[in-house]
Amino acid sequence: MTVATVLSRSQQGLDAPLVRVEVHVGGGLPAFSIVGLPETVVKESKDRVRAALANCGFDLPAGHITVSLAPADLPKEGGRFDLPIAVGILIASAQLPPGPFDATELYGELSLGGELLSIRGVLPTALQGRRAGHTQVFPAVNLPEAALARHGRVLGAAHLMDVCSYARGMRPLPAAAEPVAGVANGPSLDLADVRGQHRARRALEIAAAGGHSLLLIGPPGTGKSMLAQRLPGILPPMTEDEALEAAAVRSLAGRGFRVEEWRQRPFRSPHHTASAIALVGGGGRPRPGEISLAHHGVLFLDELPEFDRGVLEVLREPIESGHIVISRAGRQAEYPARFQLVAAMNPCPCGHLGDPGGNCRCTAERVAVYCSRISGPLLDRIDLQVEVPRVAVEEIAGPEAGESSAAIAARVMAARVRQIERQGQANAHLEGPAVLRRVRADAEALKLLACAMKQFALSARAYHRVLKIARTIADLADSQEVIGRHVSEAVTLRQLDRRVAGASISA
């Protein structure tokens, strides 16, 4: 045989399109060319494959070896194709029998000695292989990650020679074991550690129950970050599909993906100096950004006004759509990005506005400029805006610990179940006419809301947000209808609307 075909997959967003690695050995002067890969990648791959074959005692066939990775216009990253290229050469030169790899996909970067090295994006590739019904061979180090896909035909190999023994029918390759159970967000960050802050804790519970975005406003050191970090611990556990999707994104990003954490809701807190690419994704070889790494989890933006305004603007679209399309050099990659946004900011440039011992001297004008660094449209998309004031010493030193995350999580779960049963989604995701239809507010509640609209000059968008928050408050109280009390609490959770209207911040 002089032409051999081996299967593999490329990576495009969360998609893993099939790639056919075709190897032809022809006459003529000895040469080795690879087409269908970017040029820099070709050279590295050629050198690794050549060295690995030689070190494993194989002959690089005399004559012209042509390797084609089809389709050619698909973006490809090099390392993972080393193994299919090497095996294709061995089959085409009759050093391995054809056949064993007919419906099998091969993956792995080769060391010069022939060891199979870890590759990126194993989980999305394994999920796609399961749908295709192909057997897949991954580097042994990637086997625990591949196992998450629950694909019955995933094998692991540590060395090129293991793959060759398997092809010759001499030795089977180990199959992937059951996936690691994985623990949901553990008790390490418990709300029992947060003392006082009753209103902020309540806002966090409401945010968790309805999937609402949340802005925490308060002086430095009052526990805004502590609160935000504890949100994943009170959210309902992810479904298996959600957990797999979130893990697949992390797998694409490569660094820092720990298989045993696959069931944990992501918590991402990019620094305010983060670039737009770091936040939403992209780059020469496109990678998911922070908003995608936070998929099904929490994106925490501390010191919100310090973020570049242009960077924040790019968040608006994914906040609404739940995904992001990255275009670069005519290519597109789509990543999911359904995250829950939690942001924090100081009340003024010095941070001490409204803080009794703080001596704030910021002028009203400076405060206004500071707040205007966050655009109105972004602010409009944040459901809950609450103050996190300095806590009295007695509360910090007192014997009373805060309520535990476990107790709050139970209420959140019950409230979320009511939403799913009623409308199939969390309240925060209700849109348009569905809001009024699903919220079921009684006459008194609507009258109260009309008053608040006038008093605080609320926008139409804010009107819907207040209704959705009131619905979540009613769900937490196991109330069929939204009544006046729910609306008035919801209005208190729109601090910035009230501030704009001239109400005191500490009202």
Residues engaged in binding Zn ion (CB under 5 A): 348, 350, 353, 360, 362
Residue 481, amino acid: E
Give the alpha-carbon dihedral of 291, 294, 295, 301, to 10 degrees: -60
**Which CB atom, from 360 or from 391, has the smaller least distance to Zn ion?**
360
Q: Which is nearer to Zn ion, 333 or 348 (CB)?
A: 348
The three-state secondary structure class of 184 is: coil
Amino acid at 54: A
Considering the complex, what minimum distance in angstroms separates the CB of residue 274 from Zn ion?
25
Nearer to Zn ion, 309 or 361 (CB): 361
CB of 424 to Zn ion, least distance (A): 45
Kindly report the length of the chain: 507
Query: Least Å distance between CB 375 and Zn ion?
Result: 22
| Helix or strand run (H / E) with residue 489 | helix 484-492
From the CB of 501, what's the least distance to Zn ion, in Å? 21
Cβ proximity to Zn ion, 52 vs 353, nearer residue: 353
> Judged by CB, which is closer to Zn ion: 34, or 362?
362
Residue in the structure block whose two tokens are 């001490």: 352
Beta carbon of residue 345, minimum distance to Zn ion (angstroms, whole number): 12
Q: Which is nearer to Zn ion, 63 or 220 (CB)?
A: 220
Smallest distance from the beta carbon of 11 to Zn ion, in angstroms? 48
Q: For residue 305, say if its preceding peptide bond is cis, omega within 30 degrees of 0.
A: no
Of the pair 247, 362, the CB lying nearest Zn ion is at 362
Closest CA to 264 of 190, 203, 187: 187
Nearer to Zn ion, 360 or 414 (CB): 360
At position 407, the amino acid (one-letter code) is A
CB-count burial class (<10 Å; 0-12, 13-18, 19+) for 306: middle
CB atoms closer than 10 angstroms to residue 286:
23
Distances in whole angstroms, Cα of residue 363 to Cα of each of 109, 267, 304, 372: 60, 35, 20, 14
CB closer to Zn ion out of 370 and 456: 370
Whole-angstrom distance, CA of residue 221 vs CA of residue 216: 12
CA 410 to each of CA 21, 78, 119, 280, 297: distance values in angstroms, whole numbers, following the listed order: 52, 47, 39, 33, 18
Q: Cβ(208)–Cβ(231) under 8 Å?
A: yes
Residue 485: CB minimum distance to Zn ion, A: 34
Contacts 24+ apart (CB under 8 A), 283-288: 283/328, 284/328, 285/75, 285/77, 286/13, 286/326, 286/328, 286/331, 286/333, 287/252, 287/253, 287/254, 288/249, 288/252, 288/253, 288/335
CB atoms within 10 A of CB 492: 16
**Distance of closest approach, residue 499 Cβ to Zn ion, in angstroms:** 14
Q: Which two tokens stand for residue 209?
A: 């129950």
Minimum CB–partner distance for residue 344 and Zn ion (Å): 16
Q: Which is nearer to Zn ion, 200 or 348 (CB)?
A: 348
Complex with Zn ion: residue 335 or 370, whichever CB lies closer? 370
Least distance (Å) between residue 367 CB and Zn ion: 7
If residue 154 lies in a helix (H) or strand (E), which one and from where to where?
A: strand 154-157
Identify which of residues 232 and 347 has a Cβ nearer to Zn ion in the complex: 347
Q: Shortest approach of Zn ion to residue 361 CB, angstroms?
A: 7
DSSP 36: S
| Rounded alpha-carbon distances, angstroms, from residue 478 to 28, 375, 410, 441 | 80, 36, 13, 14
Least Å from the CB of residue 71 to Zn ion = 59
